[in-house]
Amino acid sequence: MGFYSRMPASSADMERTFIAVKPDGVQRGLCGEIIKRFETRGFKLVAAKFVQASEDHMKKHYLDLKDMPFYAGLCKYMSSGPVFAMVWEGQSIVKLARMMLGETNPADSKPGSIRGDLCINIGRNIIHGSDTLDNAKMEVDLWFKAEEFVNWTPCSQAFLYE
Ligand code: UDP
Ligand code: MG
């Protein structure tokens, strides 16, 4: 079953996005801080797992970057240790999550953003977030099976959306 078929029927402008704390973020003990930012913003966690991905899996995940000089090293690094993989849901979350992340290069990321507050180097920028709705759909389905999603309604929901 695909991503859209799992969405609640009543939420036409709701989106889901794939967020992962990268091995550097996990090693630096930043999973809690990153989860906290999405939680306190009001987004809803619908799936999560702590995994060490294979290099092959990371090559699929970053397929659109296959011609970049950093592709091989990136895939090797991303599979070198555990990542905390998550799917978050909310209104316009794909764009809002990218804003919360900051720029790809932490040096260009504003203070207040995750990368602008918590890291320094482009190759160790601690977090992944889908960049478009189409890529979110592909990434969610690459990382999670239908049975890994939890169907729940946070009690805060009625106070987050009018
Ligand atoms: N990356 C890198 N060197 C670069 C550009 C990117 O090591 O010059 C890494 C970095 O970890 C980045 C990832 O490749 O997060 C994916 O690149 P993308 O352009 O998709 O950036 P993102 O979507 O993560 O902001
Ligand atoms: Mg990207």
Number of domains in the chain: 1
- Closest atom of ligand 1 to CA, residue 128: 24
Quote the pLDDT of residue 13: 82
Say whether 22 counts as a known binding-site residue.
yes
Ligand 1, atom 22, lies closest to the CA of: 104
CATH number of the domain where residue 68 is located: 3.30.70.141
- Give the tokens for residue 81: 């240790």
- Pocket-testing residue among 61, 70, 124, ligand 1, by greatest number of atoms within 8 A of Cβ: 70
Digit-coded pLDDT (tens) for 29-87: 999 999 999 999 999 999 999 999 999 999 999 999 999 999 999 999 999 999 999 99
Q: Is the pTM of this model over 0.85?
A: yes
Residue ranges making up the domain that contains 33: 14-148
- Closest atom of ligand 1 to CA, residue 22: 11
* Domain contains 3: no
* Domain contains 153: no
